[in-house]
Structure 1
Amino acid sequence: MLILALITLVLHGALTGLFYAFSMSVMPGLNAIDPAQAEAAMRSVNRKILNPWLFVVFLGSPLAALVAGFLAGAPAAVWFFAAAAVNFVGSFLVTVAINVPMNNALDAGTMPFKAYSPRWTTWNTVRTVACAAGLVLVGIGLTGL
């Protein structure tokens, strides 16, 4: 159980770091260059990020927390379940409902980068905060093992 809990912690940390890096460096960097170049760069990033390593972290975080919740005893289970829920809502649902459709619009050329960037970054920051909260919840769950 401890190994699964530590894997859950690492997955949450990796996902938090990924989203944080985008909001704090990638998007400001893209905002500092010509919008046409930023659009092309973001399109490339959006294509390249769809790889097995992303899916392990993105899907693995809430799933690992959920499994850890089922395997952990009280009170740790509650914290792992809470981490799974926060991650699912704040990362998975926000990504599927908001960020991916915006990525698709950028890719299709129906949303200019100047409209895309501030909205995308705001919602990415929501994902960052949710993942950080999930990371904290997993950490608290680890203390209850």
Structure 2
Amino acid sequence: MLDTLTVALLWFAALGCALIGGLYFAFSAFIMRAFASIDPSAGIAAMNAINRVILRSLFMPLFWATTLAALALAGLALTRGGPGAGAMLAGGTLYLVGMFVCTVVFNVPLNNALQAAQGAGEAALPVWQRYLRQWTRWNHVRTVASLGAAALFVWVLSIHTAY
């Protein structure tokens, strides 16, 4: 049976991953397509505004806390083992690599390039077109990783609460 701290971490990570995955899903499903359908300068300005605001929103504490919870759960799975440890390790690894590393290595540098291109007129168009294609592709990865990790954490909880 799992101890109380591990159960609390699993619940927090499952809900955090699901919330973050839902946000990423919205961008993949319709927000980026909507931005692609408007004037490029307006799309660039809107995305840059989102990128500025999100850094000072409740999203960031959730982003960091969920990442740390996934890391802790992966560590617990490696050190404690037991039923569900493989799924807990897989969930933590999937989230850390598919969401966190992907964000740092791909999405953030694309955000920075887009910020630098704002106000560049026609010169910003290739940056915007690349951004729409690549940022969205990596956002799909983050969406799947976040929701997959949430599902794995819920599964671990379910096997420990089944009668």
**TM-score, length-scaled by structure 1:** 0.89
Calculate percent identity across the aligned residue pairs: 35
Which of these two proteins has the greater Rg computed from alpha carbons? 2
CA contact (8 A) 1:65 1:138 kept: no
1:125 matched to 2:140? yes
> Which residue among 77, 84, 97 is the counterpart of 1:76?
84
Q: Secondary structure at the match of 1:112?
A: helix
Cα distance, 1:52 vs. partner?
5.0
- Pairwise CA RMSD: 1.9
Residue 40 of structure 1: aligned partner: 45
CA contact (8 A) 2:9 2:69 kept: yes
Residue 59 of structure 2: aligned partner: 54
Residue 94 of structure 1: aligned partner: 102
Cα distance, 1:136 vs. partner?
1.4
Residue 143 of structure 1: aligned partner: 158
Cα distance, 1:73 vs. partner?
6.0
Q: Which runs of 5+ in 1 are unaligned?
A: none
Residue 12 of structure 1: aligned partner: 17
Q: Which runs of 5+ in 2 are unaligned?
A: 118-123
Moved over 6 A (4+): none
Determine the C-alpha separation between the residues in 2 that align with 1:77 and 1:3. Answer: 15
Determine the C-alpha separation between the residues in 2 that align with 1:54 and 1:65. Answer: 16
